[in-house]
Structure 1
């Protein structure tokens, strides 16, 4: 029987935090209790496009209206996934966007044999050749949509690779990112992530 993903809320020393879907639970715990709240083991994420805590390069910035970037999805590599991993998913989420945040990218159906994505995997056809599927992001386009926050304080972008207990989440190309988030949460064995910044 498939486990269900419940919406949870978390108490913190600052009071009760808002409710979060299961796949966002790690972010909520980090916010409430600091960086040592979750033990992530050896599962790790690196990138030739980003460095943790660094700024997003123009190549990864969205290309529309007053954002003039390359809109190329980042190169990513991951190592030491948990035992039992049968597939991977990748997300990119802006936690500083107003309201519930902003989904920039969500990919599922990456086979367990794959441990890296080249830069521009979203637009180049690399992901579709793997049999992976991409969600509709909050720009209302399928695939990767890079950072493009309003002018002001830089936003933080969370890139996460999830190790999953299945490669088949019964998701279709272009379904909403929130649906991907829910299904990823039902099958997550572990995750590796980094946070990068971008402002205008």
Structure 2
């Protein structure tokens, strides 16, 4: 098999580059951890991808429109300066969903400045009807706004109404309307 011709593998690699902040720090959302330690036996297998031309690490921008996910940094190829990771998306992405539409992280010189709390310890309630009674799954514990005292809800209808990235001469602009992640009682038309 010619690994470099496999678009799924290429996109997986692009994603990993895109969400990498510095060293073992990655943009985390949902139930992912902000720090990753790889299994050395798996890393040894990476040699099989020798034919794939590598991208520069730490790209200045990575836009994943299907996920409505963006990462931007001030200096390509370097952790120096600012890093922003932001997610619009939906509150029904996977069985590992968190109510975190509109969440973001900011790193300065490769170190966390504004974080997403991430995932807690899985319990018997994690994959039950009581999932969203666990604080780490609720939007108020991510850095998503509570609007008129109302948190985001889970379900395929609770999602960003749009997300758009525009490349600019000196950076980029990310816009998202996350009002759709809230139930009607939040009385929000746009956010």
**Same fold? TM cut 0.5:** no
Structure showing the higher strand proportion among its residues: 1
- Structure whose CA Rg is larger: 2
TM-score (norm 2): 0.24
